Amino acid sequence: MKNKLLLCALLLLFPILSNVMFSQEDDSDDEYTEATHAPSLYESVKNDKGLTGLIRIADKKMVIPFKYNDITLDGTPAIVPLAYVNIYDSLNNEGIYSLADKKVIIPCKYAEIEKEYQDFYPNDGKELYEFCGFEGKSGKDENAITDFYSPGGKKLMSTKYKIYLADFDSKKKLYMGFFLTPQESTISCPYIGYFLYKAKSGTLIQNREYRTLDLGGTNQLIVSNQENKYGIVDIPSGKFIIGMQYDTLYYGIYGTEYIARKGNNTLLFDDNGKISIQPGTYDAMENFHNATYDKENTWALSVSKNGKWGCVDTRNKILIPIIYDAPVEYSDTMWVSKGHKWGAISSKGIEVAPFAYDSILFGKYDNYDIWDTIYFDYYSVQQNGKWGCVRPSGQNILPVEYDRQVKYYDTMWVSKNGKWGCIDKDLKVLVDFKFDTAVYSNFSYGTKGISCTKSKKEIQLTFKGEEIHVKTLLEAVNTKDRTAFMSQIGAANSREKGVALYYAIYNNNMEMFTLLLKNDPELNFVYDSKPPIYHVALLARGYDRDQSSLKMLTSLLNAGADPNQRGFSGDTPLMAYLSSNYGPKIEFVRALLRAGAKVNLKNDYGDDVYDKLSSSSASDDIKDLLKQSE
The answer to pTM > 0.85 is no
Hey, how many other C-beta atoms are within 10 angstroms of the C-beta on 60? 10
Q: To 5 degrees, how large is the angle CA 424–CA 425–CA 431?
A: 10
Please say whether the beta carbons of 341 and 327 come within 8 A.
Answer: no
2 pLDDT higher than 80:
no
Average pLDDT over residues 583-597: 85
Least confident of 122-126, 316-320, 517-521: 122-126
Task: Tell me how far CA of residue 197 lies from CA of 33, 178, 236, 237, in angstroms.
Answer: 44, 12, 10, 12
The pLDDT tens digits for 473-512 are 888 888 888 877 887 888 888 999 988 988 888 888 888 9
Q: What's the DSSP call for residue 568?
A: G
3-state DSSP assignment of residue 575: helix
Hey, how many other C-beta atoms are within 10 angstroms of the C-beta on 590? 22
What's the mean pLDDT when you consider all of the chain? 80
b/e burial code for range 105-124 (CB count within 10 A of at least 16 → b): bbebebebbbbbbbbbeeee
3-state DSSP assignment of residue 298: coil
Question: How many Cα atoms occupy the beta-carbon half-sphere of 58 within 13 Å?
Answer: 9
Residue 431 — φ and ψ, nearest 5°? -130, 130
pLDDT of residue 34: 41
CA 96 – CA 87 distance, rounded (Å) = 6
CA 567 – CA 141 distance, rounded (Å) = 26
The residues pairing with 259 across neighbouring beta strands, listed in sequence order, are: 250, 268
The strand pair at 230-234 and 52-56 is best described as: unpaired
Please say whether the beta carbons of 311 and 297 come within 8 A.
Answer: no
The pLDDT tens digits for 300-314 are 889 999 999 999 988
3-state DSSP assignment of residue 83: coil
- H or E segment and range at residue 269: strand 265-270
268 pLDDT higher than 90:
yes
Highest averaged pLDDT of the listed ranges 247-256, 317-326, 619-628: 317-326
Percentage above 90 pLDDT, the chain: 27
3-state DSSP assignment of residue 453: strand
Q: Using 50, 70 and 90 to split pLDDT, how confident is the model at 365?
A: very low
The pLDDT tens digits for 137-176 are 998 787 889 999 999 999 999 999 999 888 888 778 889 9
Highest averaged pLDDT of the listed ranges 39-48, 456-465, 513-522: 513-522
Q: Per DSSP, which regions of 240-324 are E strands? A: 240-246, 248-251, 257-262, 265-270, 275-277, 284-289, 300-305, 308-313, 318-324
The pLDDT tens digits for 177-213 are 999 887 765 566 788 999 999 988 999 999 999 998 8
pLDDT of residue 73: 77
Q: Using 50, 70 and 90 to split pLDDT, how confident is the model at 240?
A: very high
Please say whether the beta carbons of 71 and 65 come within 8 A.
Answer: no
pLDDT of residue 22: 32
Q: Using 50, 70 and 90 to split pLDDT, how confident is the model at 230?
A: very high
User: How many angstroms separate the first and last alpha carbons of the chain?
Assistant: 51
9 pLDDT higher than 50:
no
Task: Tell me how far CA of residue 306 lies from CA of 282, 320, 352, 461, in angstroms.
Answer: 8, 16, 26, 48
pLDDT of residue 185: 57
CA 536 – CA 136 distance, rounded (Å) = 27
Q: What are all long-range contacts of 370-374, with beta carbons under 8 Å and residues at least 24 apart?
A: 372/408, 373/407, 373/408
Q: Which residues contact 14 (CB under 8 A, 6 or more apart)?
A: none
CA 300 – CA 289 distance, rounded (Å) = 5
532 vs 2, which has greater pLDDT?
Answer: 532
Hey, how many other C-beta atoms are within 10 angstroms of the C-beta on 594? 16
Give, to the nearest 10 degrees, the angle between helix 586-594 and helix 546-558.
0
Q: Using 50, 70 and 90 to split pLDDT, how confident is the model at 443?
A: low
Percentage above 70 pLDDT, the chain: 79
All structural domains of the chain = 359-470 (no CATH), 474-628 (1.25.40.20)
